[in-house]
Amino acid sequence: MRPTRWGLLGELELAVLDQLWRSGESDAKTVHAKLGRHRGITLNTVQSTMKRLHEKRLLTRSKRSHAFVYVPAISRAAFHRDAVEDVVTALLHGEADAMVAAFVGVAERAGEDTLARLEALVASRRTAGRRSST
């Protein structure tokens, strides 16, 4: 089973993606300075991780001087949307009801503010759907 179109992503891969979504672009040395020292990992490990993310087409890169500079190939929102879609397809066989029930359960545990945001999002999507069908 392959939960996402990119295969399984590890904790370091997700941390690197998060760092690049925040910075916009970066080389391995800069990402290592932000993440590696706190995690006790080497620059080589960060370089390998970024290369893997490039091979998975989650990062693009260009050569600048002697180093590659990496840029996210997908926005954080698009990544989350695609990952959830892949998980629903792989684990729930596309059953949207099970996914919605799970999200509502998470929203309830997170509190009233989260539940209110979820309700507003649903209302907004319904309104947009009605406008596009007219």
Considering the domain delimited by 11-72, tell me its CATH architecture: Orthogonal Bundle (1.10)
The model carries a pTM of 0.73
Rg, C-alpha atoms of the chain:
19
Give the whole-angstrom CA distance, residue 13 versus residue 115. Answer: 30
Q: Do the Cβ atoms of 84 and 100 come closer than 8 Å?
A: no
Q: For position 1, what pLDDT does the model report?
A: 40
pLDDT in tens, 107-130: 788 888 888 888 898 899 888 877
Q: Do the Cβ atoms of 108 and 100 come closer than 8 Å?
A: no
Q: For position 72, what pLDDT does the model report?
A: 97
Share of the chain above pLDDT 90, in %: 48
Report which secondary-structure segment, H or E, holds 131: helix 112-132
pLDDT in tens, 53-70: 999 999 999 999 989 999
